[in-house]
Amino acid sequence: MNESKETELADIGEILETINHIEITPEQLDSLKNEDDFMHLSVELMKETASIVALAAGVLPPDSKKWTRDQAIIGGNFVRLSKLLSAHLDQICQKRQEVVFIISRLLFENVVNIKFLIKNDSTELFDSYVKYALRNERKLRDLISKNIENRKGISLHIEHRMLSSIEKVARKSGIKIDDVLPNQPKEWGNKNFYERTRDVGLESTYLALYGGSSRSIHGNWTDILDHHLEYSDQGFSPKFEWGRPRPQQILPIAQLILETTKEFLLHVGSALDAPIIRRIDSIFDNTKAADSAHEGWLSSV
């Protein structure tokens, strides 16, 4: 997978040529006879997707070569998406299904947040996003300040460093720490995660594919039961073997990521007929075709 680099939209076409493009024909899909065949193709498609995401994540404004605070919120989330995708691929290739479930859920949330930020682009929304993230810093600042007051103004070295760090974060974020209310907002953008999925049209996708994967994040009983225990009439025993990832954990999230990458590039100024947009459309079509072929194969076995 190509590492992300700072680049401009005009440079993308040249870099794009270095990324291997997976060509898929109906004959090739017909030749896939087992789960391993479909997994190999799925991984190759995801590798190409990850390379495109890494390339897109490095796009900076051509005039300033830097993001503003508001641009950086979206751009930083996209860089995070690229890193999560790299980790996702790593765990797929190491055949660790349980961790793949966890990272898939993180990828989905990252996708939803990027789409929500792009769709509802406003300074008010970005301020809400930042203030929500800095609530703990405000609580910590207040606690340290109270402790110093109780000592009649005497501060510890570690407290001085922590206060300086909090102020630095607030300054970089374009927010005064006093403007951050410890318990407000309860959710950034005035919506919880499920409401954000509905706002960007991914409510049904969340319910069908990714709602259940939250259990893997938190280690709920159903996750423990399904992946970490063996059951028999006599009781339970530990299950140390890793589950094997499947194409269903690769192709649908690849499609969502490709859609989001296209939205991101159009948001930062790419044209619909740009080479990278055409490549994204081609990869998307290939993942759809592979997904359909795999479903067809599953129904026949």
Domain residue extents for the chain: 9-120+203-217+244-300
Q: Identify the band that residue 203 occupies on the pLDDT scale cut at 50, 70 and 90.
A: very high
Q: Give the span between the Cα atoms of 197 and 86, in whole angstroms.
A: 23
Q: What is the H or E stretch that residue 229 is in? A: strand 229-232
pLDDT of residue 9: 60
pLDDT of residue 8: 62
Give 27-94 as a DSSP string: HHHHT--SHHHHHHHHHHHHHHHHHHHHHHHTB--TTTSS--HHHHHHHHHHHHHHHHHHHHHHHHHT
- State the Cα–Cα distance between residues 286 and 25, nearest whole angstrom: 9
Cα distances (angstroms) measured from residue 271 to each of 126, 268, 278: 25, 10, 10
Determine the pLDDT at residue 252: 94
Does 217 score more than 60 pLDDT?
A: yes
pLDDT band at 60 (very low <50, low <70, confident <90, very high): confident
Highest mean pLDDT among 59-63, 113-117, 270-274: 113-117
pLDDT value at residue 261: 97
Percentage of the residues of the chain whose pLDDT score is greater than 90: 81
pLDDT in tens, 32-41: 999 999 999 9
Query: Given a cut of 90, is residue 17 above it in pLDDT?
Result: no
pLDDT higher than threshold 60 for residue 271: yes
pLDDT score recorded for residue 7? 64
Mean pLDDT, residues 187-216 taken together: 89
CA 101/CA 104 separation, integer angstroms: 5
Work out the average pLDDT over 83-110: 96
Q: Sorting pLDDT into bands at 50, 70 and 90, what band is 209?
A: confident
For residue range 165-187, what is the model confidence (pLDDT) as tens digits? Answer: 999 999 999 999 999 998 877 89
The reported pLDDT for the residue numbered 3 is 53
Give tens-digit pLDDT for 97-141: 999 999 999 999 999 999 999 999 999 999 999 999 999 999 999
Indicate the average pLDDT of the chain.
Answer: 92
Taking alpha carbons only, the member of 242, 214, 207, 247 closest to residue 228 is: 242
Q: pTM of the prediction? A: 0.91
For the cut 60, the answer to whether the pLDDT of residue 4 exceeds it is: no
Q: Is the pLDDT of residue 25 over 70?
A: yes
